[in-house]
Chain A
Amino acid sequence: MKQRDFERRYEGQWQLIENWLTGYRKNTEVGREPDTNDDLPQNYRRLCQHLAVAKERQYTGNLIARLNQLVMQCHQRLYRQKNVSSHRWLEFIFAGFPRALREQARFVWLACGLFLAPALVMGLGCYWNDALIYAVMSPEQVLQIESMYDPANRVLGRERGSDSDLLMFGFYIKNNIGIAFRTFATGILFGLGSIFFLVLNGVFLGAVFGHITRVGFVSTFYPFVIGHGAFELTAIVFAGAAGLRLGHSLVNPGNLSRRQSLREAGKEAMKIMYGTFLMLVIAAFLEAFWSSSTEVSIGIKYAVGGCFWLLVVSYCVFAGRRLPVTAPAGSRL
C-alpha cells in the first residue's frame, strides 16, 4: 500500500485520537474524564500497529514522527501512575517507614556512629577544655549561643518576642530540613557528602553540648533540647543513613550495574526520606512552639522529652513488625 492510501485510510482515526488527547488535556484542569476513555487501550493498540506498519514499510519520517508522537501521548495516558490513597500513607507511617529503617539497619547504625562519635569526642573535649570550642566556632558565635541559653534570660532558644513563634518555625523548617536534605543528597557522591555532613553536625552538636554544660546553663539548655531533639537528631541520622545507602550502591553495586544499583538504592532511600521529612516537620513544630515555651516547668519538659525519645525509639524498633509483609508500603509513593 502506498503511503498516501495508508494515510487516507486511517486519517480519521488519528484525528479522533488527536482531538481526544487535546480535549483531555483541557479537561484535566477541570478534572473530568471524557467518555472515550474506555477506548484508549484499544485505540492505543491500533496506533501501535499503525506505527509498526509504517516503520516496516519505511514510510516517510513525517508520518512516522507523527504516529510516534501520538503513540507516546497515549502511552503516557495509559501508563499513568495511580495516585496515592490516604490508606497507603497511613500504612507507610505506621509500618512502612520503620520497616524501611530496619531493612537498612546497617546504614542507620553507621550513620548513628558517624554522628555520635564526633559528638561524644567534641562534647567531652569541650567539657574538659575551655578553649576547644573556639576551634570550631568564632567567639561571637559562642557568645551568641551562651546568651541564648543563659538562665538569666527569660526566653529560650533564639532571642525573640512572643509573636515570633511562627518566625522561628519557618526558620527551623528551612534550616533543619535543608540540612537533612543536603545530608541525604550529597550521599550520592560515593557517600562522602553524607559522612561529611554527619560528622560536621556531630562536631557542632558535641561542642555546644560540652560547652554549655561546662558553663553551667544546664537548667535551660537540656529542657529546651530534649523535646524536639528526639525527632530532629534521629531524623538527621536517618537522612544520613539514606545518603549512605545511595553512596554504598555506587561503591559496591554487587551484581547490578552501577546505574541499576543506584536506582534500587534510590527507591529504598526515598522511603526513609519521606519519614525523615515528617519527623523534621514535627521537630520544627516542637522546637518553635513547645521547647521554647517558658510557662512549662522544667520537670514536665524533661518528662515529655523523655516520652518523645521513648516514643521515637520504640516506634523505630517495634512499629510495623506484626503486619504481614504483603506490599512494601511506600514503594510506589
Chain B
Amino acid sequence: MHDTSASAAPPNPDETGLDTLYQIETPEGIDLTAQVAGPVPRILAYTVDLFYRSLILLVLGITLRVAGNTGIGLWLLCSFLLEWFYPVLFEVLRRGQTPGKQAFSLAVVNDNLTPIGWGPSIMRNLLRFADFLPFGYFAGILSMSCGRYFQRLGDYAAGTVVVYREQVAKTGELPDAAPTPPPRGLQLADQQAIVSLTERSNVLSRARQQELADLLEPVTGLSGDDGLRRLHGIGRWLLGARRPQQNKATATNTPTQPEVAQ
C-alpha cells in the first residue's frame, strides 16, 4: 500500500533526495512523516540487545547450574527462546522497542506506520539469520545500504521499517525581541527562513546566528547583534506577536492628541 503513496508523496525530489524522511498517506488523507533509522544506530541498538541477552544467559547459566542436567535443559530452552523470540516479544508488547532500540529511541513499525503485530515481527526476526549471512550481518547491512528506507531482508519480507520515535519537541522560547513589521515584498520562503531562525534561536550559537543575520544586511540595514535582533523581531511579528509597548504608546497618545488639538 505504501509503495504508491510513498513514491507519490514526496513532492520535491531535491528536498527528500538526501533526507531520511518516510512519508505515507493515511486513510484520513494526510501525510504522516517519520524518520527512518540508518544502519549505525541499529547496529548499536543490536549491540545493546546482544549485551542484555548474553547477560541473561550468563546469569541463568550460573543459577541453573545447581539443577544439573535439568538445568542445562532449561538453559538450552531459554537460549533458544532468547535467540529467536527475544526481539519478537519486546517488539510486539513494548510498542516496537526492544531495550536496545529504546536506548536509541528507535522503534519497529509496519510500513504504514501502524504498530507491529506478531506476524510481521516473527517474520523479520526469523529472517535475521538470512541477514546475518555470510557473517556479521553482512547481507542485512548491504540490503540496508542499498534500500531507500534502510530495510534489511527481514524488513522487506515482513513489510516493516525502523523509525525514530521522536521525543516531543519542546516549542522553544522565542527570543526576547520587540516584534517588528517585516519590510515589504518579503517572499514566503524568506518569511519561513526568518521564522525558523527565530524559533531555533536557542539551538544555534549566537555567533552563528549573527553570521546568518549578516547575510541579510542589505534587507535589514543593520549588522551584527542589531541585525539579528531585528530579524528575531520580524520573526515574532510573522508568528503573530504585536508590539505591546507601541500599542500602549498609541493608546496613551490618542487621548492626548485631541487635548493638544483643543
Contacts and interface: CB of A to CB of B under 8 A. Distances in A.
Interface of A: 2-5, 18, 44-45, 48, 51-52, 55, 58, 60-63, 65-66, 68-69, 71-72, 75-76, 79-81, 84, 160-161, 163-171, 173-174, 177-178, 181-182, 184-189, 193, 246, 257, 259-260, 262-263, 265-267, 270, 273, 332-333
Contacts of B241: 4
- A-B residue pairs, 5 tightest by C-beta: A4-B240, A2-B240, A170-B76, A170-B73, A166-B73
B114 A80 contact: yes
Given A60-B196, A267-B119, A173 B77 contact: yes
Given A58-B188, A266-B158, A259 B77 contact: no
Interface in B140-161: 153, 156-159
24 contacts: A48-B29, A55-B30, A61-B199, A62-B172, A62-B199, A69-B169, A72-B34, A81-B115, A163-B69, A166-B70, A167-B70, A167-B72, A167-B76, A181-B84, A181-B129, A189-B130, A189-B133, A189-B139, A193-B130, A263-B157, A265-B157, A273-B126, A332-B119, A333-B118
B166 interface: yes
Given A163-B69, A189-B133, A60 B199 contact: yes
A332 B196 contact: no
Nearest to B75: A170
B67 to A, nearest CB: 9
Contacts of A79: 112, 114-115
Contacts of A265: 157
A173 B30 contact: no
Q: Taking each of A44, A65, A173, A188, which has the highest tally of chain B beta carbons within 10 Å of its own beta carbon?
A: A188
Contacts of A44: 28
Contact of B166 (A60, A69, A182, A257): A69
Given A60-B239, A164-B73, 9 more contacts: A5-B240, A58-B188, A60-B195, A63-B171, A75-B32, A163-B70, A173-B77, A181-B129, A246-B157
A68 B126 contact: no
Interface residues of B, number: 59
Given A68-B33, A170-B76, A266-B157, A185 B119 contact: no
A1 to B, nearest CB: 8
Nearest to B109: A76
Contact of A174 (B31, B76, B127): B76
Contacts of B3: 257, 259-260
Q: Which of B31, B119, B127 has the most CB of A within 10 A?
A: B119
A185 B126 contact: yes
Contacts of A58: 188, 192
Interface in B56-93: 68-70, 72-77, 79-80, 83-84
Contact of A185 (B26, B109, B127, B188): B127
B106 interface: no
Nearest to A84: B118
Most chain B beta-carbon contacts within 10 A, residue among A18, A76, A84: A76
B74 A166 contact: yes
B119 A270 contact: yes
B118 to A, nearest CB: 6
B89 to A, nearest CB: 14
Given A60-B239, A68-B32, A71-B32, A185 B128 contact: yes
Interface in B190-226: 192, 195-196, 199
Interface string B232-260: 00000011110000000000000000000
B129 A182 contact: yes
Contacts of B109: 76
A209 B72 CA distance: 29
Nearest to A51: B30
Given A75-B26, A260-B3, A186 B166 contact: no
A168 B76 CA distance: 9
